[in-house]
Each structure stands twice: as structure tokens, then as C-alpha cells.
């Protein structure tokens, strides 16, 4: 965003205002008599209208004006806030967004329909006639038409507090002088004796003879701010017969004076259509507000500190390079600088990453409207509660999480929650609960979507899975695996197809999206008690801490967050476990995968092989590697389109020596390990 | 000396528009986001002119003007308020608490500059 473009700034600001209005309205829906909320919404509408008009969004300003007027009545206690009004203004708010984005025609019809609803909502709520009036009906101060060809005689006295309130009489006299030749006489008759004199008050009056071809409007302009309270008399100067040849030139002078020049401030409403019409007409110029991130100043200060330190270290390095230090100390000095730079790079990376972090509150707040709308559409009573909104996640992550979460919440509200009647019949409170929570665990954020609805119908899932040929009719399958079936492409039970969910996004798409974020999705459900979906996503997409290992001649990175422990595969275990790839770890059998075999390295194994135990959730699997090299700051590069489908790898990274290491996809490997375990168990 | 102007508005875009117009006209502009910020800015530095919105969160323009006028050093400092109110009541209230003049939104930069010149005399 350009710092010099108020229109771009307005678009961003308008987006924030609309969010604020929406949140205020939703809160108001729950607490209809909360005056603070009414004020908040009113202020939002008011600012939107005012700024919109400033930057040429005339349609927006006019439309918003109606909503503001309606809301003003509520604010002044002339009409009650009702659910109908909240609902209408919510849809009006969506229309305002469309007007700001300026996408396409046909908006007038929508706007008119909403205004009609608004009118109905107000009519229903109050007896007095609705206050919806056209925005253009700002009272226009009539331009004084009378003029004088030769001049005016003025006599004025300012209100006593005028000087204290910022009016400088000398400037008024200067302005009069600019209009024409002046003869000014001060009247000091009202000046009190010194003992009674209040120095901040103005006691002097002035008589002015103003000569020239001046309109009365110009004189009124001079006194515009004090006109209401001051004593002012304005009379035309005696017209000498030879001064003015006739009436016509006078009228001509008045006409031109009213048209020319800058309109006086109070007449600004007349010009409202004039300033900058272009923005509303060029929607393509609209920047995405998502491209800017708000950063608290203190975080920028931190970043600046680090950069400052980096500059210092850099100068030390230059000094060393130019050979000013003694030769013997060189190596030591270089090592110390290297350590400094390593530390600074780490800190810079952390600080930088934090800059991109935004609280999930911005994500959660979008869903309040969604749930509100879903409740209206389905006729259910739904209470949305949230927890852990301050948890911070990478900005790009937030954006990409929105769609899958919308789908999950729709599912919960539409399929999960029962109708109030069914709920009461089942002995539950009539209002269904949808709970969103977020919390950070290590390098991951866990986002939970929980409902207290009917839960997932196993029978139906099973029936559907059998029809699709995903499982055999008599096949035994764990409850957990059965629930995972809902993530299968094309999997939806017949009753699931409603107009609410008909968005062409299935659970398989949700799963794919989450996995593309290097996250996992897990669903649990208790019949009659509800379902819980847990999303685990990494804090950031760009950089991870990795464990660098060697398998054969290749080097690989294992995300450090997934590593539980490293141990040696003793020769004894190696022999004993041949063919049965399990180790016993604290009395638990953990399957392991020989990466040498999976990658088909064709090299001789190292005599002392290591096992890296990795885990996702409760599932663990060991990876046998030849050597553990150490931890490594891994900047993730995505794989080429050709290799994107290779499931075992999540990406690649470039090592310090210029070599390439592939990043192992932990989720895939754990799944692979678990399958192997199941196969072996099935085989006995 | 360059005249120092304080602009108080909760709308960043409007503040930006005001800043661009007034710095373009050679004034020195300081911004504040609401009445509370406006008061502390005015306490930290003496301004030649204060331009304020009326409807703002935390502290509205009316309250800020009233507070400003309580301080002796703010006597005589011109205060212009921005208003979109079509009713006269707001204007009268603002004047009653000590505002010097007003500017009706929406305005074009020339009107803003003209009003500033008018009350500053430069």
C-alpha cells in the first residue's frame, strides 16, 4: 500500500470498520439493550459514511447514510434495537462491502431491496414516521444574493469569548481588507475600566466602510464561524448616482461571485459529487487488504535492534578482512564473529517470523457471522464459544485455514447439531454448542472445532464405505479408521446434501488443504454427544528446525518438532528384529522403517545405525538412519512439479555446503509405519 | 515559522488526506487517533491550530475541546472541527465548548487549506 494514497488507506480502513460493525451487530443481537454497542455500531457507520464521501465512494456514503439514520434513532432512544434491525443492517453491511469493492452492476437493486427491508424494520419498531431520508438532503445554506456595486457599511462586535475560542479579530479585519478598500474605526465605548477588564475577552467593536464590487456572501464568509453569536449589521453604502450605471452589472457581479472560486466550507455539501469520482468506477485498482500486516511498533524496534547489532558485527568482519587485527588472533576473532552472526541470524529469523504472526482471533471472529447466519438458515439455536484467540499463527496460514474451517463449522452446525426439538427430546439443552479453541503446543498450533450434536453415525458411514468399496462388508475395522472414511474423496452420505453444504467442498478437500499446510486433521466422535475435529498445523510455513541425518550417501532433514528421541540400533536388536521391524521402547512396541531399504540406497549399512523416533499425535515410528549429523535450520523449498507427488518428502532444503537435502514427510512416514505394523500384526 | 497543526481523527485515511493537503500547503502536521491521543499531543507541544473529528472512540471531539479549553495555554488556539452532521445541534454544542469553526465533510483539500489560512492568518 502506498503511504501517499488515501483511497487505498480508506479501502483497508473500511474493511476494518465493516468487521467492527459486524462484530458490534452480532454482539448486539445477544444484548439488544446495550447502549455501548449501539454507539459503537453507529460510530462505525458514521465514519464509513464520512470517509466514504471524502474519497468519492458516493454510492456507499448515500447507502450508509440510510443505515446510520436508522441507527441514530436507536441511539437516541426513538426506536428499539430489534433482531430484525440487526439482521437487516447485517445484510446492509454486506452490501456496503460490495459497494466498496465496486464489483459489477445490479448493486442498486440490491441496495433498494435492503433499504426497503430497513424501512420495514424501523416501521415495525416505532410508531413515528421513519427517518430514512435521501443523503443529499443536507440543508443547504442559501447564498445571499443581494449585492452592492459600490460597497458596504459594516458594524460588528464579537461575542465575549470569541478570542479565547480561537477567533482573532485582526484576521477578520485582514480578510475584509482583502475583499476591498477598507476604512476601519474601532469602537471602544464598551471597554470596561482596567480593574474590571478580563484580558481574554473582546470588548471592542468595529465600524468598517468596505468599498468595491463585493457580494454580501463574501462578507458573510469572513464572519462565518462567529456569525450566529455576534452583532453584525451590513448595509449598502449610499449609492452615488454616477457610480452605478444600472442594476444589471450588479446582478452579473453577484452571479459570478457565487459560481467562481472555492465554495465556502458550509456549502461543501453542494460539491459533494465533485471530489474524485474515479475510485468507485475503477474496481480493478482495489488492492487486497490482506497484503498488508499490522505490526506492533515494539516488534519493529526489536527488529531494528537486531539489524543494528548485525551492522556492528559486519564492521568487525570488514576490519578483520582488511587485516588490521594481529595475525595470531585472526582465527579466534573470525570464530567469534561467526558465532555472533549465527546468533543474530537466528534472532532475526525469530523476530521476522513473529512479525508475520497474527492472533487467530481474526480468524475466529469471521465465524461468528457464519454461525449467526447458519442458525437463521437452519432454524437452530447455536451458541458459539471461543477460546485461545490470542494464539498467534503465521498470516498466510490464517488465510489458508479459513476455507477448511468454514466447511468444518458448517458441518458441525448443519449436520452435527440437532434441531431444538430433537435436542430437548434427547435430554440436551435446546441451544447447540459449537466451540472453537486454539492453543500452541511446541512448534504447532492445535485448533479444535467441537460440537455437542448427535455425533457421526457409524452405521451410515460404514454403509457408505461398503457401497464405495472402501471396505469389505465383513471387514473388521477400528472405530478410528472408520471415522477417517469421511475424509475419502467423494464420500458424503445422502442426508448430507443440503443447500448449506452444497459448496463443492468435501472433507477430502479439507484434509488435503490441511496437509498442504503440513498439518494433520483428526476427528473423534461420540454418538449422541458430539464430534471433535482437531487440526494440528505448524506455526509457520517457511522455516523449521530440522534434524539432519544421513542415509546411504544422501542427506535428509527430519522436522525436529516431530522427533521424540534418538537411540542406537544395537546389533543385537538389529538381528533379533530382522523381518519384524519392532523395537521395544519403554515397554511399548514401536515399529521402525529402514530408510536404507525404502530409499534403496544400495550401500553397505554403517556398523552403528541409529534410530530416530518420530511421532504425530499418539502414534510413533522409528526411522533407521546411518548417521545423525545434527540440528539444522531448514528453509523449506517446495519440490518441483515433477516431484510433488512423491509422498515421502515434504520439500527440500539447501545445505551450507550447497548440497540439497530432502525433507521427510513425518505424517506419511508414521502412516507407513503404522500400516506395516498392522500388516505384520494381521500376519501374526 | 511553519505553523504546526494537530489533526485528530479516528479514520487513518482521513488523517492521511488531511496530512497530504496541509503538508502540501506548507504546514507541519501531527496526527492523533482519538481525543485522548489528541490531548496528550497538545500537552506535549503547542500547536497553532487543531483540527478534530467529533465522533471518535475513547474520547470524542466535544470532550477533547472542552478539556483543551480548560488549560490556560490553549486559550486562543483555533480549533476547527469536522462534521458530517446535518443537524445544527452538534455544531452548536461544539461551538459552546469552545471550538473556533468547522468544516463540513466531505470537503476538498482547497476548502481545508482555505479554512486553515482563515484562522491562522498565514
DSSP, residue by residue, A572-604:
HHHHHTTTS-EEEETTEEEEEEEHHHHHT--SP
| Average pLDDT of the residues in B9-17 | 88
Name which of A382, A472, A489, A356 is nearest A435 in CA terms. Answer: A382
Mutate: best of A21, A54, A219, partner B, most B CBs <10 A: A54
Can you tell me the distance from the alpha carbon of A575 to that of A586, in angstroms, rounded to the nearest whole number?
20
What CA–CA distances, in Å, run from A124 to A73, A83, A111, A145? 13, 12, 20, 45
> Per the CB < 8 Å rule, is B121 touching A171?
yes
A:B CB pairs within 8 Å:
129
Residues of B in contact with A224 (CB under 8 A): 101
Comparing alpha-carbon positions, the chain B residue that sits nearest to A228 is B92
Can you tell me the distance from the alpha carbon of A266 to that of A51, in angstroms, rounded to the nearest whole number?
18
SS3 A369: helix
Can you tell me the distance from the alpha carbon of A390 to that of A386, in angstroms, rounded to the nearest whole number?
11
Residues of chain A with pLDDT under 50: 1-2, 127-147, 240-290, 493-504
Residues of A in contact with B62 (CB under 8 A): none
Can you tell me the distance from the alpha carbon of A56 to that of A50, in angstroms, rounded to the nearest whole number?
10
Whether residue B116 is predicted with pLDDT greater than 70 in this model: the reply is: yes
SS3 A664: strand
Helix%, strand%, coil% for chain A, nearest 5: 45, 20, 30
C-alpha cell at A636: 523449506
B114 reaches A (C-beta below 8 A)? yes
Residues of B in contact with A3 (CB under 8 A): 16
Comparing alpha-carbon positions, the chain B residue that sits nearest to A201 is B76
Can you tell me the distance from the alpha carbon of A449 to that of A37, in angstroms, rounded to the nearest whole number?
28
A317 reaches B (C-beta below 8 A)? no
Burial label, A334 (beta-carbon count in 10 A; 0-12, 13-18, 19+): middle
Among B79, B95, B114, beta carbon nearest to A262: B114
pLDDT in the model for residue A435: 93
- Residue A317 phi/psi, 5-degree rounding, is -65, -45
- Residue B84 phi/psi, 5-degree rounding, is -110, 0
Residues of B in contact with A139 (CB under 8 A): 86
C-alpha cell at A279: 475510485
Comparing alpha-carbon positions, the chain B residue that sits nearest to A227 is B101
Outline where DSSP puts E strands in A100-218: 147-148, 151-157, 181-187, 205-211, 214-215
Residue B23 near residue B29, CB atoms below 8 Å = yes
What sign has the CA pseudo-torsion A123, A129, A131, A135?
A: positive
Sheet architecture: strand order including B49-53: B28-32, B4-8, B49-53, B79-83, B101-104
> Per the CB < 8 Å rule, is B95 touching A228?
yes
DSSP state of A637: B
A260 reaches B (C-beta below 8 A)? no
Instruction: Chain A: give the shortest CA distance to residue B41, in Å.
Output: 18
Can you tell me the distance from the alpha carbon of A61 to that of A47, in angstroms, rounded to the nearest whole number?
10
> Per the CB < 8 Å rule, is A13 touching B79?
no
> Per the CB < 8 Å rule, is A265 touching B115?
yes
Interface of A with B in 537-566 (CB under 8 A): none
pLDDT in the model for residue A575: 62
Can you tell me the distance from the alpha carbon of A382 to that of A432, in angstroms, rounded to the nearest whole number?
5
Name which of A534, A544, A533, A541 is nearest A517 in CA terms. Answer: A541
Name which of A516, A510, A528 is nearest A410 in CA terms. Answer: A510
> Per the CB < 8 Å rule, is B84 touching A229?
no
DSSP state of A16: H
B25 reaches A (C-beta below 8 A)? no
pLDDT in the model for residue A571: 67
Q: What is the DSSP string of B42-98?
A: HHHS--SEEEEESS-SSS-HHHHHHHHHHSGGGTT--EEEEE---SHHHHHHHHHTT
Name which of A614, A633, A636 is nearest A625 in CA terms. Answer: A614
The complex scores an ipTM of: 0.85
Other beta carbons within 10 Å of A365 = 17
Task: Summarize pLDDT for A531-551 with one digit per residue, the tens.
Answer: 999 998 877 666 777 899 999
Helical (H) or strand (E) element with A130: none
Comparing alpha-carbon positions, the chain A residue that sits nearest to B80 is A166
> Per the CB < 8 Å rule, is B105 touching A163?
no
Residue A574 near residue A607, CB atoms below 8 Å = no
> Per the CB < 8 Å rule, is A265 touching B105?
no
Can you tell me the distance from the alpha carbon of A355 to that of A372, in angstroms, rounded to the nearest whole number?
32
Task: Summarize pLDDT for A251-305 with one digit per residue, the tens.
Answer: 334 434 333 333 343 333 333 333 333 333 333 333 344 456 777 788 888 888 8
A135 reaches B (C-beta below 8 A)? no
> Per the CB < 8 Å rule, is B84 touching A4?
no
pLDDT in the model for residue A473: 81
C-alpha cell at A586: 519403554
Comparing alpha-carbon positions, the chain B residue that sits nearest to A37 is B57
For β-strands A205-211 and A231-236, DSSP reports them as: unpaired
> In whole numbers, what is the pLDDT of chain B averaged over residues?
87
A482-521 as b/e: b if 16+ CB within 10 A:
bbbbbbbeebeeeebeeebbeeeebbebbbebbbebbbbb
Can you tell me the distance from the alpha carbon of A537 to that of A528, in angstroms, rounded to the nearest whole number?
29
Can you tell me the distance from the alpha carbon of A322 to that of A316, in angstroms, rounded to the nearest whole number?
10
Can you tell me the distance from the alpha carbon of A485 to that of A466, in angstroms, rounded to the nearest whole number?
10
What is the separation of C-alpha B99 from the centre of its chain, rounded to a whole number of angstroms?
Answer: 9
Amino acid at each position: 500500500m502506498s503511504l501517499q494514497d488515501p483511497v487505498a488507506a480508506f479501502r483497508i480502513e473500511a474493511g476494518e470498520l465493516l468487521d467492527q460493525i459486524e462484530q458490534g451487530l452480532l454482539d448486539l443481537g445477544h444484548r439488544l439493550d446495550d447502549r455501548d454497542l449501539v454507539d459503537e455500531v453507529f460510530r462505525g457507520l458514521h465514519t464509513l459514511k464520512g470517509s466514504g464521501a471524502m474519497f468519492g465512494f458516493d454510492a456507499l456514503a448515500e447507502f450508509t447514510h440510510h443505515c446510520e439514520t436508522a441507527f441514530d434513532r436507536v441511539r437516541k432512544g426513538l426506536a428499539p434495537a430489534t433482531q430484525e434491525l440487526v439482521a437487516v443492517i447485517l445484510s446492509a453491511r454486506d452490501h456496503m462491502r460490495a459497494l466498496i469493492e465496486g464489483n459489477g452492476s445490479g448493486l442498486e437493486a440490491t441496495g433498494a431491496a435492503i433499504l426497503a427491508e430497513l424501512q420495514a424494520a424501523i416501521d415495525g419498531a416505532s410508531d413515528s414516521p421513519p427517518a430514512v431520508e435521501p443523503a443529499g438532503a443536507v440543508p443547504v445554506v442559501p447564498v445571499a444574493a443581494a449585492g452592492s456595486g459600490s460597497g458596504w457599511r459594516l458594524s460588528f462586535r464579537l461575542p465575549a469569548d470569541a478570542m479565547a475560542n480561537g477567533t482573532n479579530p485582526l484576521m477578520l479585519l485582514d480578510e475584509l481588507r482583502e475583499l476591498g478598500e477598507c476604512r476601519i474605526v474601532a469602537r471602544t465605548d464598551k471597554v470596561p475600566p482596567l480593574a474590571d477588564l478580563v484580558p481574554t475577552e473582546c470588548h471592542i467593536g468595529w465600524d468598517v466602510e468596505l468599498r468595491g464590487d463585493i457580494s454580501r456572501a463574501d462578507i458573510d464568509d469572513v464572519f462565518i464561524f462567529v456569525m450566529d453569536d455576534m452583532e453584525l449589521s451590513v448595509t449598502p453604502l449610499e449609492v452615488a448616482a454616477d457610480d452605478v450605471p444600472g442594476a444589471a452589472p450588479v446582478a452579473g457581479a453577484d452571479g459570478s461571485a457565487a459560481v467562481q472560486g472555492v465554495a465556502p466550507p458550509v456549502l461543501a455539501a453542494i460539491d459533494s459529487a465533485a471530489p474524485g469520482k474515479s475510485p468507485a468506477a475503477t474496481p480493478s485498482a482495489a488492492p487486497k487488504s490482506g497484503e498488508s500486516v499490522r505490526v506492533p511498533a515494539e516488534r519493529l524496534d526489536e527488529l531494528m535492534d537486531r539489524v543494528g547489532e548485525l551492522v556492528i558485527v559486519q564492521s568487525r568482519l570488514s576490519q578483520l578482512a582488511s587485516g588490521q587485527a594481529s595475525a595470531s588472533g585472526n582465527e579466534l576473532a573470525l570464530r567469534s564473529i561467526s558465532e555472533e552472526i549465527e546468533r543474530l541470524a537466528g534472532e532475526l529469523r525469530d523476530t521476522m517470523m513473529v512479525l508475520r504472526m497474527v492472533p487467530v482471533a481474526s480468524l475466529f471472529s469471521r465465524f461468528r457471522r457464519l454461525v449467526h447466519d447458519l442458525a437463521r438458515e437452519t432454524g437452530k439455536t447455536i451458541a458459539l464459544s471461543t477460546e485461545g484467540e490470542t494464539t498467534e499463527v503465521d498470516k498466510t496460514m490464517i488465510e489458508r485455514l479459513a476455507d477448511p474451517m468454514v466447511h468444518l463449522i458448517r458441518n458441525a452446525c448443519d449436520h452435527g447439531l440437532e434441531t431444538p426439538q430433537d435436542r430437548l427430546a434427547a435430554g440436551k439443552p435446546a441451544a447447540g454448542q459449537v466451540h472453537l479453541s486454539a492453543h500452541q503446543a511446541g512448534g504447532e498450533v492445535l485448533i479444535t472445532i467441537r460440537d455437542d450434536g448427535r455425533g457421526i453415525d457409524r452405521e451410515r458411514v460404514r454403509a457408505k464405505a461398503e457401497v464405495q468399496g472402501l471396505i469389505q462388508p465383513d471387514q473388521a475395522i477400528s472405530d478410528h479408521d472408520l471415522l477417517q472414511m469421511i475424509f475419502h474423496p467423494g464420500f458424503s452420505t445422502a442426508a448430507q446434501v443440503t443447500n448449506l453444504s452444497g459448496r463443492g467442498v468435501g472433507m477430502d478437500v479439507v484434509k488435503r488443504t490441511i496437509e498442504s499446510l503440513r498439518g494433520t486433521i483428526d476427528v473423534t466422535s461420540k454418538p449422541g454427544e458430539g464430534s471433535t475435529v482437531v487440526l494440528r498445523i505448524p506455526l509457520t510455513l517457511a522455516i523449521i528446525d530440522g534434524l539432519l541425518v544421513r542415509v546411504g550417501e544422501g542427506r535428509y532433514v527430519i522436522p525436529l518438532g516431530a522427533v521424540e528421541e534418538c537411540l542406537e540400533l544395537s546389533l543385537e536388536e538389529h538381528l533379533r528384529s530382522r523381518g519384524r521391524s519392532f523395537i521395544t521402547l519403554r515397554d511399548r512396541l514401536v515399529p521402525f522403517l529402514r530408510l536404507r531399504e525404502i530409499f534403496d540406497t544400495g550401500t553397505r549399512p554403517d556398523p552403528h545405525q541409529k534410530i530416530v523416533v518420530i511421532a504425530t499425535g499418539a502414534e510413533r515410528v522409528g526411522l533407521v538412519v546411518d548417521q545423525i549429523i545434527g540440528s539444522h535450520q531448514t528453509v523449506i523449498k517446495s519440490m518441483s512439479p515433477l516431484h510433488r507427488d512423491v509422498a515421502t518428502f515434504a520439500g527440500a532444503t539447501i545445505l551450507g555446503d550447497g548440497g540439497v537435502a530432502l525433507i521427510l514427510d513425518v505424517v506419511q512416514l508414521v502412516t507407513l509405519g503404522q500400516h506395516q505394523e498392522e500388516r505384520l500384526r494381521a500376519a501374526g | 515559522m511553519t505553523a504546526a497543526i494537530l489533526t485528530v481523527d479516528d479514520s487513518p485515511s482521513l488523517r492521511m488526506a488531511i496530512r497530504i493537503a496541509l503538508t502540501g500547503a506548507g504546514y507541519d502536521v501531527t496526527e492523533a487517533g482519538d481525543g485522548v491521543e489528541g490531548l496528550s499531543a497538545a500537552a506535549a507541544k503547542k500547536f497553532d491550530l487543531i483540527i478534530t473529528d467529533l465522533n471518535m472512540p475513547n474520547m470524542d471531539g466535544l470532550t477533547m475541546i472542552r478539556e483543551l479549553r480548560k488549560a490556560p495555554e490553549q486559550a486562543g488556539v483555533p480549533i476547527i472541527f469536522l462534521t458530517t452532521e446535518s443537524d445544527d445541534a452538534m455544531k452548536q454544542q461544539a461551538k459552546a465548548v469552545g471550538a473556533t469553526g468547522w468544516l463540513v465533510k466531505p470537503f476538498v483539500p482547497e476548502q481545508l487549506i482555505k479554512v486553515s489560512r482563515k484562522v491562522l492568518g498565514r
